[in-house]
Structure 1
Amino acid sequence: MNYRRVKTEGGTYFFTVNLADRRQATLVDHIDLLRSVISLVKDRHPFALESIVIMPEHLHTIWTLPEGDKDYPTRWALIKAGFSRNIAKVEMIGASRAAKGERGIWQRRYWEHLIRNDEDFTRHVDYIHFNPVKHGYVSNPIDWPYSSIHRFVASGIVPANWGALSLEISGDFGE
């Protein structure tokens, strides 16, 4: 099926990508592999990784594609396939996936949103960095090790205690 997706050359996009089995912790259990695959794909198909948080069973990220490039689907296909090929086959694979030779690690689809302006960008970065608190893993975003918030704190964009107090972030983020 061909889903309608916004594809803007050089666009900045927010993504939510989920595991098929949301009860697993596969992404953090294999964090070095995931980071390596993302880096490899980024080297071969460049994009700016603006912000990211990797949760046990999903991730959120913001990418900016190069001018003239709108092909984020290929990048996601390569990341998902590269990750899946390098972990043991222990997941349940349904008949539909087996017939297509697919693994059962990732949900087939993902959520994408074209960032529209600076305010939209900031709201999505905040959502990304606050996600571990939202899900109850930590009380302060800086305490989650798999987040770009560490880069934001180190560069002085936000203080180390950002988000430790109550924070309201509204919107539809694909979770």
Structure 2
Amino acid sequence: MVRYRRNFVPGGMFFFTVTLDDRMSSVLVDHVDELRSAFRVTRAERPFEIDAIVILPDHLHVIMRLPDSDSDFSGRWKRIKSAFTHRLAASGAPICRNHRGEYALWQRRFWEHTIRNDADFERCADYIHYNPVKHGLVAAAIEWPYSSLHPYVRAGILPPDWGGAGEISGSFGERGD
């Protein structure tokens, strides 16, 4: 078995795919306020910046930038997942448990890619913003409410009709790509 080694870069910028265990679930969009709260709590405890994000029913993609002296993105993801799971459980939402009695909401691991330069950032951000169209959730990227595309459009970085047609290609850690 190949041991996967993560690229821990202090102050690095990373593209992540984080997925629910149940790929048929819609819990992330059904409980988006709890997810946003989990991100806020984690950012208050362990700062990071979000440069692009999309929240889909069963997974999310994020470009995260860490502080200059910090490389612990794994700890941040552990905290985000835990905070969301506990908020969801406290709300009374049913969450399955595994054979050890632990909540079985998230896949144990996540996919990570180190952003290497501006072109790599743009490619990953485009992929994030186009993902709802790719999955057939909307006809145009601007129609998806849980995306950082909206601030990009408000800032004039991308036009409102961006991602309405065409396809963004690449493999970014999703099954079936």
TM-score, scaled relative to structure 2: 0.92
Alpha-carbon displacement from aligned partner over 1:2-58 (angstroms, at most 9, x marks no partner): 841110010000000000001110000100010011011112211110000000000
Distance in 1 of aligned mates of 2:95 and 2:114: 32
* Paired residues for 1:56-95 under 5 Å: 56-88=57-89, 90-95=94-99
Aligned to 2:15: 14
Of 35-44 and 57-66, deviating more is 35-44
Partner secondary structure for residue 87 of structure 1: helix
Deviation per CA, 1:93-140: give whole Å up to 9, x if none: 231x42xxx211000000000001111100000000000000001011
- Map Cα deviations across residues 49-91 of structure 1 (whole Å, 9 max, x no partner): 0000000000000011010100001100000000001113623
Residues of 1 paired with 2:13 and 2:88: CA distance? 30
- Residue 149 of structure 1 is matched in structure 2 by 149
Task: Summarize the alignment of residues 1-175 of structure 1 with structure 2, pairs less than 5 Å apart.
Answer: 3-88=4-89, 90-95=94-99, 97-98=100-101, 102-167=102-167, 169-175=168-174
Paired with 1:152 and 1:43, the residues of 2 have a C-alpha distance of 24
Partners of 1:165 and 1:91 in 2: how far apart?
Answer: 37
Following TM superposition, by how much is the alpha carbon of 1:171 offset from its aligned partner in structure 2, in angstroms? 2.1
Q: What is the count of residue pairs matched by the alignment?
A: 169
* Residues in 2 aligned to 1:149 and 1:59: alpha-carbon distance in whole angstroms: 14
Post-superposition offset of 1:166 = 1.1
Q: Runs ≥4 in structure 1, deviation > 3 angstroms?
A: none
The CA RMSD over aligned residues, in Å, is 1.2
Q: TM-score, normalised by structure 1?
A: 0.93
Q: Letter of the aligned partner of 1:70 in structure 2?
A: S
Matched to 1:93, the amino acid is R
Return the letter of the residue paired with 2:36: R
Specify the code of the residue in structure 1 equivalent to 2:121: F
Structure 2 CA distance, aligned partners of 1:73 and 1:8? 12
- Structure 2 unaligned runs (5+)? none
